[in-house]
Amino acid sequence: MSNSARSIFVFGLYLALLGIVLLVAPNFLLGMFALPATTDVWIRVVGMLLLFLGFYYTQSARKELTDFFRWTVYVRATVILFFAAFVLAGFAEPPLILFGVVDLLGAIWTSLALRPAKTA
C-alpha cells in the first residue's frame, strides 16, 4: 500500500469509527465536544453516512484509486472552513472545529504523500 493510500485508509477507519459511535452512542461523542445531547434521528443518520464514507475511503485505498485521493484533499481541506463558519454564525460550539482540524491534517498528509518522490 502506498503512503497516499495508507493516509486514505487511516482516514477511512477514523470515519468508520466516528460513524459507529454516532450510530450506537451519539450523545457520548456529542458530550465530549460540548455539543448538546439529542434524541433526534439525524445524528444517527450522520453516523450511517460516515460509516458509508469510511467504507468508500478504505476500499479506494485498497484499490489505489489515486484520483479519488486527490479529490479528497480538496474536500477535506475545506471542512474546517465550513465548521469555522458554523461556529462564527452561532450555529455550533467551537469544539466542532476540532473535527475540521482532523480533516485538514488528513488532507495535508494525503497531499504530501501524493507528491512525486524527489530523485537525487
Phi/psi at 54 (5° precision): -60, -40
* Joined grid coordinates for residue 73: 484533499
d(CA 57, CA 8): 6
- Please give the pLDDT value at position 118: 65
Claim: this prediction has a pTM higher than 0.95: no
- Please give the pLDDT value at position 119: 59
Closest CA to 23 of 47, 51, 59: 47
Do 18 and 32 form a contact (C-beta atoms < 8 A)? no
Rounded mean pLDDT for each run of 10 residues along the chain, 120 residues in total: 96 97 94 85 96 98 96 97 96 90 97 80
Q: Which residues neighbour 105 within 8 Å (Cβ) at sequence distance 6 or greater?
A: none
- Please give the pLDDT value at position 32: 84
d(CA 106, CA 95): 18
Q: Could you identify the residue written with the cell 477535506?
A: 76
- Please give the pLDDT value at position 46: 95
The full 3-state SS of 39-100, as one line of letters, equals: CCCHHHHHHHHHHHHHHHHHHHHHCCCHHHHHHHHHHHHHHHHHHHHHHHCCCCCCCHHHHH
